């Protein structure tokens, strides 16, 4: 059992009017409101992050001179920044 003290007359009046309109005891209305609040707190999205190193799959290709252009990507100084900029352009 839990006792709730309401100090504000406006809230008390509105609560009594609400209970009267819905023809329910105030205790039941407050219990339902608290239950809804507690249930809404449980609905947060829970997920586990996977470790990328454990799920890493290395792909290796045989070198083929016909498919490779040696000068195509030589202008890239920072590969991470280059990929970041490419992704930003697509979006």
pLDDT digits (tens, 9 = 90+) for 47-85: 788 888 888 887 777 777 776 666 667 778 888 898 888
Instruction: Count how many domains the chain has.
Output: 1
The answer as to whether 28 is a domain residue is yes
**Does residue 36 lie within any of the structural domains?**
yes
Return the H-helix or E-strand segment holding 84: helix 79-90
Q: Is 2 left (phi over 0), alpha (psi -120 to 50) or beta?
A: beta
Residue where the block lists tokens 């007359």: 9
pTM of the model: 0.41
Give the per-residue pLDDT at 43: 64
pLDDT, position 21: 92
Q: Is the pLDDT confidence value at 10 over 90?
A: yes
Domain region containing 17: 9-42
Judge contact between 76 and 82, C-beta under 8 A.
yes
Is residue 75 situated within a structural domain? no
pLDDT digits (tens, 9 = 90+) for 31-44: 888 888 888 877 67
- Report if residue 13 sits inside a domain: yes
Dihedral sign from CA coordinates of 29, 35, 41, 45: negative
Q: Indicate the DSSP class of residue 72.
A: T
| Residue 49 within a domain | no
């Amino acid at each position: 059992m839990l006792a709730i003290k309401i100090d504000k007359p406006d809230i008390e009046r509105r609560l009594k009017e609400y209970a009267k309109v819905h023809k329910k005891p105030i205790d039941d209305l407050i219990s339902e409101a608290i239950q809804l609040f507690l249930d809404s707190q449980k609905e947060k999205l829970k997920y586990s992050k996977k470790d990328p190193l454990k799920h890493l799959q290395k792909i290796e290709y045989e070198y083929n001179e016909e498919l490779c252009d040696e000068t195509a990507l030589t202008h890239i100084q920072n590969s991470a920044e280059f990929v970041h900029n490419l992704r930003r352009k697509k979006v």
